Structure 1
Amino acid sequence: MNTIISPQEWPEPIVRVQSLSQTCTDSIPERYIKPLSDRPSSEADHVVDANIPIIDLSGLYGDPDARASTLRQISEACNEWGFFQIVNHGVSHELMDMARETWRQFFRLPLEVKQKYANSPKTYEGYGSRLGVEKGAILDWSDYYYLHYLPFSLKDHNKWPAHPPSCREVCDEYGRELVKLCGRLMKVLSINLGLEEDFLQKSFGGEDIGACLRVNFYPKCPRPELTLGLSSHSDPGGMTLLLSDDQVPGLQVRKGHNWITVKPVPHAFIVNIGDQIQVVSNANYKSVEHRVVVNSNKERVSLAFFYNPKSNIPIGPAKELVKPDKPALYTAMTFDEYRLFIRLRGPCGKSHVEALKSP
């Protein structure tokens, strides 16, 4: 693949959506108004009253029947949905609440404090308000904070907020716990694919993987029917653990021609398959489009933790999953190459991973 150079600067001045939210009372700027077909009110899409599967992970550590049942539930959720919620996952509820509240406090800080952490498209690390560098693009109604957790060579506490004072310590502990949880889930996915339990972890680089956190802030919006907090996309990495705002639903998952509004369970993580696992599994598991709608009365905060392959090793279909009737569907690409490929374009449905398909 040709080398893609990540741009150094944003193509236009950055406007903080949180600031817009405080000044827009009955309208929003045109650059946030989505095309008719992409709006949450579009007649082309139907929002269905259902929910993604909810799975109790304690069964993995119970008797053989309970373990088999839990493995089967996860397998069905991966095959049918690409998304599921997990409870009894081993992460302290207190830590989850503390992490979400810490970031809520950050976004309530004065703008001049947050601006010290303003990001660039070169790495995206820091305080941001847009994804993709296409000039004149229609933007999403959200701000965010993106930071690296692994590998340690990329982890830089100076790029993490110093306020509120607990932020760095809480993020460190939260990251440690979620890395462990992702490792357990990777074993389950490997087993369900008929592979050795450490297969996916090894294909991602063993202990030398990547992990990062994006905290999404969705301010109130006076015209939520015209815009999206986050446009439809599939996650580019391996696996995502989302700590949602359980008071204000907003995440929608595509299932066929329908959108399902996820009803978050308190202290659950929402798990979804990313593009890299779709590639390694040779599309036995598929990443799924999802988007975020916004609210006219309430702001939302959610924490997306991305568990990714080591950035410089080629990721392609596992040879064990390539069969005469199902050849390798994808050309191998490093995660660094894939990530830059996406950064130039921003969120764009499932088109990115589909572009990897072998001729």
Structure 2
Amino acid sequence: MAKKKLVTIPSQYVRDDQDCSVASSNREVPVIDMQRLINPTDHDDSMNIELQKLHFAAQEWGFFQLINHGVSCSVVERMKHEIQEFFNLPLEEKNKYEQSPGDTDGFGQLFVVSDEQKLDWADLFYLKTAPPHMRMPVFSKLSCFT
């Protein structure tokens, strides 16, 4: 869409149902502590509190920041770099990894089921990594995911 000259916003991107109030835009992205989920202490309710936060994040936000997950900073930084490299590719190249009908893995929009539904303003690259038998071999060709 960014390559086209548009005069109006395509209807599938207009969301009349969104709360655009100042109060809702000032909230912070939920932060979930993985260690509190997997190693709760006996003397406090940290796991239940974290589960409630996770439920709220999934229901109200659709995403969250995960901390204390055990993945090294270097691995996270490399993944961020490689993802950026993928999205810097020309559209024709990214489209080679387009989602197949009925599948979520690949480049595009997630869960597009009709031409009338509302879409997000961003494309994504969805990739199952675990369990290993769920990985799709076509994506192993991408240098950024090897």
Q: Does TM, normalized by the shorter one, top 0.5?
A: yes
**141-150 or 74-83: which moved more?**
74-83
CA distance in 1, matches of 2:78, 2:33: 23
Aligned with 1:148: secondary structure?
coil
For the residue of structure 1 that corresponds to 2:101, the secondary structure is coil
Deviation at 1:102, TM superposition (A): 0.5
Count, aligned residues: 137
Please say if 1:126 is aligned against 2:102. no
Mapped partners of 1:105, 1:99: distance in 2: 10
1:105 and 1:116 map into 2 onto residues whose CA distance is 15
Q: Identify the structure with the greater strand proportion.
A: 1
1:108 deviation in Å? 0.6
What SS does structure 1 have at the residue aligned with 2:24?
strand
Structure-1 residue corresponding to 2:119: 139
Alpha-carbon distance between aligned partners in 2 of 1:141 and 1:24, rounded to the nearest angstrom? 16
SS of equivalent to 2:134: coil
CA distance 1:77–1:56, change in 2 (3 Å): closer
**So what's the TM-score if we normalise by structure 1?**
0.32
The CA distance in 1 between the partners of 2:97 and 2:34, in whole Å, is: 38
Instruction: Report the TM-score when normalising by structure 2.
Output: 0.70
Q: How far apart, in 1, do the equivalents of 2:130 and 2:33 lie?
A: 27
Residue in structure 2 matched with residue 30 of structure 1 by the alignment: 11
- SS at 1:145's partner residue? strand
Question: For 1:159, which of 133, 136, 139 is the aligned residue?
Answer: 139
1:47 aligns with 2:24: yes
The 1:49/1:126 distance shift into structure 2, 3 A limit, reads closer
Aligned sequence identity (%)? 25
Gaps of 5+ in 2: 58-63
- For structure 1, the 5+ residue unaligned runs are 1-19, 170-359
Q: Alpha-carbon deviation of 1:96?
A: 0.6
- Alignment match of 2:145 (pick from 164, 168, 178): 168
Aligned position for 2:90: 110
Matches within 5 A, 1:291-306: none
Q: What do the CA deviations read for 1:171-219 (whole angstroms, capped 9, x no partner)?
A: xxxxxxxxxxxxxxxxxxxxxxxxxxxxxxxxxxxxxxxxxxxxxxxxx
Match of 1:75 in 2: 48
Taking structure 1 as reference, are residues 72 and 156 closer, same or farther at Cα in structure 2, changes over 3 Å only?
Answer: same
Which is helix-richer, 1 or 2?
2
**What is residue 35 of structure 2 aligned with on the other side?**
57
Q: CA deviation at 1:161?
A: 5.0
